Structure 1
Amino acid sequence: MNKTLDIVTTMVAVLLLGALVALSVRGIVDPASAALAFGVPAVDSSAQFYHAVYRDRNLVLAVTGFVFLLSSMWRALAILATTAISLPAYDIAVLTLAQVPVAGVHAVTLAGLVVLSILLWLRVRRDAASRLAR
């Protein structure tokens, strides 16, 4: 069970963080297409700025997450993933209030972060229990 938890947690983290990096890089390379995929076309400067902040926010979170992952800083990664749950929830709320169709990527990101957070906290709890048992 311990090895399975380690493998699954690492795989989910790599997939989710990698997807965030890919989406962010896509936003840098082709901002108009990325904005449409987000759900709102960047037709004016305020929308373009919002998308730039969204893209950069995701890139910073993903890079930070990879640093924590590669450093085996599981508690820090768990805290990052748990607090990041609020971000796609916020995006969904803003788009819904603006009566804009919500792209599926937001719900998938939200679900992925919830699953990753659960896995990370299970791992952190297991590691803490094994340290106490020594």
Structure 2
Amino acid sequence: MEANKRPSPSYMGRVQNDISPKMRGILVDWLVEVAEEYKLVTDTLYLTVSYLDRYLSSYAVSRSKLQLLGVSCMIIASKYEEICPPHVEDFCYITDNTYIVEEVLEMERDVVKFLNSDTGPPTTKNFLRQDNRLK
């Protein structure tokens, strides 16, 4: 996989100064719950985490914006994987209206710009699926 399509293994210590691995873990656990709540396919969740880690590998994010980044990554992944993705308003609601629609859309634009519109890299699930085919 090309280097720009995978997260840096050391980004937490090298790039992030306001969030910790534990905070990232809490966010991912919460994103799992969101995916279950909206009945999203597992590929959406894997792609969400891929976008999240790739973005965090390049940009320092404040703890107050970490959940915003998470839902924005999930919106992008939903648009890529889901037949009927949830609306932006649904994601605002699921954050207890911590963020308004405009903030979510702005973060979504930032992430898409960062990804350079390359929203379909292989995820962990692609490799698991391939491994199962070999058996």
Same fold (TM over 0.5): no
More helix by share: 1
Q: Which of the pair has the greater relative contact order for Cα pairs under 8 Å at 6+ separation? A: 1
